[in-house]
Amino acid sequence: MREKKGSWFYQFLKWLVRLLYPRMEVVGAEQLPEDAAVIVGNHTQMNGPIACELYFPRERYTWCAGEMMRLKEVPGYAYRDFWSFKPKAVRWFYRLLSYLIAPLSVCVFNNANTIPVYRDTRIIRTFRESLARLQEGASLVIFPEYNRKYNNILYDFQDRFIDLARLYYKKTGQSLAFVPMYIAPSLKKMVLGKPIRFCADNPIAEERQRICGYLMEEITALACALPLHTVVPYRNVPKRDYPTNLPLEVYANEKTYG
């Protein structure tokens, strides 16, 4: 893998974040296949990308919104995607913040091991670069949630990233593995689950549904198997609205009868 070294400023920032950000325990690393794989996880706002950049146990590239890598596009994307649900009284602050973070965002995401993702014709570049990295044996990390709630753990997955597997099969004749990952910042854990592999004999629409369905259910199961904890949701909502991995009444019953 052609891992980026990054600028000296980026290396300083990475050192600083590593110093301040809690160390994550990786659970289930043995689930990672020996060949190329796509790791699919819950975004947990900025926790997912940070945790994977610092502690993922294998060399990897992370899909990143292309807008976060371009100075003029950062403010609009950051405000819309991160902070548009904040209370009206403080939205002015987050609009200002979206401009202040733009240079930092460009520095970080252009120096980290990222692949830009776009929602227009530039998606061809995303797939081309992703296939090249997979063929080199690197893993890809993807956080495909979008703004529609699935359950108390996850938001629904965008499913077109599954098309990578069809292209990979055409290039290599091999079935690409997708590995579920659950990140629990409050427990300082990154948990990897059992992979699922693409089946080239099935229609692609069927495979999108089958694989995404499995990944969302498996990530939910990984979360629910952990001790009671606060889930960091995809949407940047007030912390008082953060859910737990188990309803409190279920947890109370487990403590009573377990």
* 61-89 mean pLDDT: 90
For residues 242 and 153, the answer to whether their CB atoms sit within 8 Å is: no
In 3D space, the residue among 78, 47, 18, 14 whose CA is nearest the CA of residue 181 turns out to be 47
Q: Tens digits of per-residue pLDDT, 102-120?
A: 999 999 999 999 999 988 8
Which residues are paired to 39 by β-bridges? 141, 179
Report the alpha-carbon distance of residue 187 to residue 229 in Å, rounded: 7
In order of 41, 51, 59, 178, the CA distances from 192 in angstroms are 9, 13, 15, 11
For residues 192 and 29, the answer to whether their CB atoms sit within 8 Å is: yes
Structure tokens at 22: 């809690």
In order of 3, 146, 160, 164, 214, the CA distances from 155 in angstroms are 31, 6, 16, 21, 14
Q: Residue 78, Cβ neighbours under 10 Å: how many?
A: 23
For residues 153 and 234, the answer to whether their CB atoms sit within 8 Å is: no
Q: Say what angle helices 204-224 and 163-172 make with each other, to 10 degrees.
A: 120
Regarding pTM above 0.75, the answer is yes
The domain ranges of the chain are 20-55+122-257
Q: Tens digits of per-residue pLDDT, 43-72?
A: 999 899 999 999 999 989 999 999 999 999
For residues 175 and 200, the answer to whether their CB atoms sit within 8 Å is: yes
Which of 9-13, 69-73, 98-102, 132-136 is the least confident region? 9-13
